[in-house]
Amino acid sequence: MAEAQPIVLCGCGTELPPQRLACPICQRLVHAETLGRQLREAGRLEAAGDVRGELAAVRGSLDLLPAGSRQHAVLSDRASRLSDRIDSGGVAAMPPEPASISQDRWRVAWKVGSAAGALALLGWKLKFVLVFVATKAKLLVLGLGKATTLFSMLLSLGLYWSLWGVWFALGLVLSIYVHEMGHVSALRRFGIKASAPMFIPGLGAFVRMKQYPHTVREDARIGLAGPVWGLAAAVAVLLAYGMVGHPLLAAVATVGAWINLFNLIPAWTLDGGRGFRALSRPQRWVAVTVIAGVWAVTQEGLLVLLFIAAVWQAFAKAAPPPGDDRALLTYASLVVALSALATVPVPT
């Protein structure tokens, strides 16, 4: 038997369902007291210079306001401006966020048609991997503290173990976990509430957002953060292979890179689709050209799917005129780097 939903009683005596945010009779806000506390907290954080904390408080306030109200529009604009400040790096009073691949604007070392090119790329990115591990280790450990994450992870581990053995299964599950924690890190950066990663045995994992990005640029940052972290994980595993020489490590790195490359298909709700929504039409054609060029070098079959979906998106009507240079640079760099890793020969 379903549990009855509690009825909210407005000050004017009107009974309201719990999901109602304003009284239709007197127009009074149902959560006015909580909203006032949230806005006072946002003001306090603004005075303290805590831009990320202020953004999180403003997002919480938006959840308490009717979507079509003037207050919602004002706070939504405030959230967008705060998000722009965070994204542009103008958050001086907060500890700086560790640089991502898109912020570093790194150039990819590439040697055509050989594993030496991929190894050169890995060596060039060694410093990035070490900084990444040192700065993100705490967040990775915290994610494992969630019972739902750990339990669903163990279920996936059991399935992959039965198919490919325990060590490859463990490497695969951890690679997927790191990818999802990339999304969690970006969501936290923009003050968006979300669940811990949940694994679906045989299908991967997901993070459920409890709030939504305000702009396509913000959504692109969150979407591409997963493959960025996934790239870092693949690079770290391949570096470990270079030191230890065990072929299983090379296999884990290659498969991890392939999974992240698959997520770059610019379609549906995949990470590539979220990144592409921030690109203008000319930028989308640049991405198409990059994909075609990388396919010509690597002959990686998955790039054909990326190419077809990218061409489709390049002809799509919904394309923001200005476009986002950082999203384009991040997407193109990920395509190049992940394709290089996915095509590294795996020793038997």
Q: Which of 62, 7, 46 is nearest to 210 (CA)?
A: 62
For position 328, what pLDDT does the model report?
A: 97
For position 135, what pLDDT does the model report?
A: 56
Token duo for residue 203: 């299908």
Round to whole Å and give the CA distance between 73 and 67: 8
For position 145, what pLDDT does the model report?
A: 74
| Pairing outcome for strands 8-9 and 204-206 | unpaired
Phi, psi for residue 44 in degrees, rounded to 5: -65, -45
Round to whole Å and give the CA distance between 185 and 191: 10
Phi, psi for residue 3 in degrees, rounded to 5: -80, 135
Round to whole Å and give the CA distance between 172 and 230: 11
8-state DSSP, 196: P
Q: Which residues pair with 209 in a beta bridge?
A: 194
Which CA distances in Å does 283 have to 171, 224, 246, 280, 321? Answer: 35, 16, 41, 5, 10
Q: Is residue 135 classed as helix, strand or coil in its secondary structure?
A: helix
Round to whole Å and give the CA distance between 110 and 266: 24
Q: Is residue 251 classed as helix, strand or coil in its secondary structure?
A: helix
Which residues are CB-neighbours of 202 under 8 A, at least 6 positions away?
Answer: 156, 159
Answer yes or no: are the C-beta atoms of 164 and 136 closer than 8 Å. Answer: no
Q: Which residues pair with 16 in a beta bridge?
A: 8
pLDDT along the chain (348 residues), means of 10: 54 66 74 85 89 88 84 87 83 43 38 42 49 61 80 94 95 95 93 91 91 91 96 93 92 96 94 96 97 96 97 88 94 97 82
Reported pTM: 0.79
8-state DSSP, 209: B
For position 6, what pLDDT does the model report?
A: 60
The number of helices, as runs of H, and strands, as runs of E, in the chain is 14, 4
Within 13 Å of residue 33, how many CA atoms lie on the same side as its CB?
Answer: 2
Round to whole Å and give the CA distance between 339 and 334: 8
For position 5, what pLDDT does the model report?
A: 52
Identify the helix (H) or strand (E) that includes residue 200.
strand 198-200
Round to whole Å and give the CA distance between 63 and 61: 5
For position 101, what pLDDT does the model report?
A: 37
Q: Which of 269, 264, 260 is nearest to 328 (CA)?
A: 264
For position 171, what pLDDT does the model report?
A: 95
Within 13 Å of residue 309, how many CA atoms lie on the same side as its CB?
Answer: 21
